[in-house]
A and B are shown apart, each in its own frame.
Chain A
Amino acid sequence: MKRIIFPPLFALLAALALPAQADSYRLPKNAVFEEECGSCHIAFPPQMLHADSWRAMMGDLSRHFGSDASIDEKRRTAITDFLVANSGGRKTGDTRDAQGKPLLRITETARFAKKHREISTATWKRVAIKSPANCAACHALAAVGEYSDHSAVSPK
């Protein structure tokens, strides 16, 4: 009898545990990444883009979404390696556009659209949010990689 009960019980527990874990992005500590990628915006989790997207982005930092985000070559290489090593994964999938070009904006990825499908245009425009790139406006624990639904609250 025990043999029959335990596997389903285990599966149930695993299923209950999954939603909470699904949007937690844990990272090895990296001071250079945190400093350089976290000064103008929060340091976005490398897991949210495919390695090709990070390579493309890190190859053109002096024109980074309209801003000069250039850094010295040693740091640029180190950060690229870190991003690539921790990039993508099963959930992120392919982050290329219809023409096969790597997407550079996390907000343009299929996963971002899917996870935010219930957020209205009016909500995005709230002063406290300002930009879809302002993760921490709703995800208070974004800085430590915690993006799960239950920890997200839209500010008024």
Chain B
Amino acid sequence: MRHILIIAAALFASSALAETPRDFLTRFEKEAGAAASAERGARFFNTSHGGEWSCASCHTERPAQAGRHAKTGKAIAPLAPAANAERFTDAAKVDKWFRRNCNDTLNRLCSAQEKADVMAWLLAPK
């Protein structure tokens, strides 16, 4: 009996830690204090912001497809969760990549609203 309880507790703990793409949309909307817009997210994703690269430079304008690193040429697995179940399931990874990639494309961090918009667009049915 004790073993079953331990297994149950472990399962509960691991499911509580794992995140889903929708959790990130909710989190960023909450931080922004406003609803996300998939349309705005698409525009943000596909246009450059003063720098050399846009998000689409590496992830392509159709993020359900595989991309390619704009500089090194290395293959990048699809970003859209519908095409790649591993995406947006780990908060540390999500925060790391938004930090780096926003710095590379905008030369600053992204706002919560910008991240919410991008999430909404990535989750929108294509």
Contacts and interface: CB of A to CB of B under 8 A. Distances in A.
Interface residues of A, number: 19
Contacts of A69: 100
B100 A133 contact: no
B71 interface: yes
Interface residues of B, number: 12
Nearest to B74: A41
Contacts of A70: 99-100
A18 interface: no
Interface string A53-91: 000000000100111111110000000000000000000
Q: Summarize B's interface: helix, strand, loop or mixed.
A: helix
A67 B73 contact: no
Given A40-B69, A41-B69, A134 B74 contact: yes
20 contacts: A40-B69, A40-B71, A40-B74, A41-B72, A62-B103, A65-B71, A66-B71, A67-B100, A67-B104, A68-B99, A68-B103, A68-B104, A69-B100, A71-B96, A72-B92, A130-B73, A131-B73, A133-B72, A134-B72, A134-B73
